[in-house]
Amino acid sequence: MTICILDTSVLCNMLDVPAFNQDRADTLSTLERYLEAGHTLLLPLAAVYETGNHIAHVGNGDARRKAAQRFVEQVTQAIAGRAPWTPTPFPDPEPLTEWLVEFPDCAMRETGLADLTIIKEFERQCALHRLRRVFIWSGDHHLRGYDRKVEPRPGRG
């Protein structure tokens, strides 16, 4: 089982958010492959918030409304367990406080707080699933590198 953490760029393409959907065809094709392969897809709260913000800034009001409706439908289905992805839990105050301490250094590397929380979810999933591949699916070059591949154990192929 592979664990795939969705980034905002992927969710925007899936939802066909205008100006954030340049890779829609590739994203949908990749999604189909991941689902066929049985990947577990996780939807971080940061990606939900960021996608909602992108939708709110779509210039055309009709397109904005339609994108917002698709967004609400998909996130609601995810919360109800009826989507191919599962929302990740909101972090407890203690880890969030620790992440905030790291944030100034991240900001200097041009990594925003939303991306930092996605990276922390990647680290959490790696710790929880030591024998599984865990990766962040993103169109952003600085998040694409988060891919913990697991070597097969001797005698298991």
- pLDDT at residue 155 in the model: 60
User: Domain with 83 in it: what CATH number?
Assistant: 3.40.50.1010
- Does residue 155 sit within a domain? no
CB 88 within 8 A of CB 121: yes
- Does residue 37 sit within a domain? yes
Looking at the structure of the chain, the number of domains it has is 1
- Does residue 156 sit within a domain? no
Q: How many CA atoms lie within 13 A of 49 on its CB side?
A: 11
CB 16 within 8 A of CB 69: no
Total-model pTM: 0.91
Q: Which two tokens stand for residue 96?
A: 């969030």
Residue 126 burial class via C-beta count within 10 angstroms: exposed 0-12, middle 13-18, buried 19 and up: middle
d(CA 123, CA 121): 5
Q: Report in angstroms the alpha-carbon separations of 147 from 4, 37, 92.
A: 9, 17, 25
- pLDDT at residue 153 in the model: 66
Expressed as residue numbers, the domain containing 79 is 2-148
- Does residue 111 sit within a domain? yes
Q: Which two tokens stand for residue 95?
A: 């880890």
- Does residue 122 sit within a domain? yes
Instruction: Summarize pLDDT for 82-118 with one digit per residue, the tens.
Output: 999 999 988 888 988 999 999 999 999 999 999 999 9
CB 101 within 8 A of CB 91: no
- Does residue 154 sit within a domain? no
Instruction: Summarize pLDDT for 1-50 with one digit per residue, the tens.
Output: 899 999 999 999 999 999 999 999 999 999 999 999 999 999 999 999 99
- Does residue 153 sit within a domain? no
- Does residue 157 sit within a domain? no
